[in-house]
Amino acid sequence: KSLIRSLCRLATVGSLYLAGFTQAGPAHAALMIPNNTTVGIITHIKFVDGAWIYEQRPEKIDGSLQLSSLVKIHDISDGAITITQLAEISQSVALPSAEPRQCLIWIVRVVESLAASGLVKLTSAQGLMTEFIEFLRETGHMQELTSIQIL
């Protein structure tokens, strides 16, 4: 909770973050663009009734019970990414097959598509995934790593 409180004061409005969420079972990942220092819009997929579905919705930064980490992957000073651009690119990335625990892999594929569109800089998709998993481990927020595949 204190980690998020300090991060929400530092969250840059309009920047793009890789967000980690705690939940029952394995950790969950999403992309977030903060509207202000207390609320952002997340883009993610969720596993419902044996299938992945796309979702974009508001999410609290300050006071969230599940948001465990924010890692900035694009600063607004390098160019704005709109919620609409993020939605269009995210929806163009194929949803995973009906296997659970695929959200981080899908998020990294979205970041690859953002990079291909010139909206973010990405040197290594595998490096991004590995770095995020290590960050979650170091902060104690990665509960379970079974079935997460490194690209």
Q: Give a three-class secondary structure readout of the chain.
A: CHHHHHHHHHCCCCCEEEEEECCCCCCEEEEEEECCCCEEEEEEEEEECCEEEEEEEEEECCCCCCEEEEEEEECHHHCCCCHHHHHHHHHHCCCCCCCCCCHHHHHHHHHHHHHHCCCCCCCCHHHHHHHHHHHHHHCCCCCCCCCCCCC
pLDDT at 38 over 90: no
pLDDT at 50 over 90: no
> What pLDDT, on a 0 to 100 scale, did the predictor assign at position 9?
54
pLDDT at 24 over 70: no
pTM of the full predicted structure? Answer: 0.82
> What pLDDT, on a 0 to 100 scale, did the predictor assign at position 107?
93
Mean pLDDT value of segment 106-112: 94
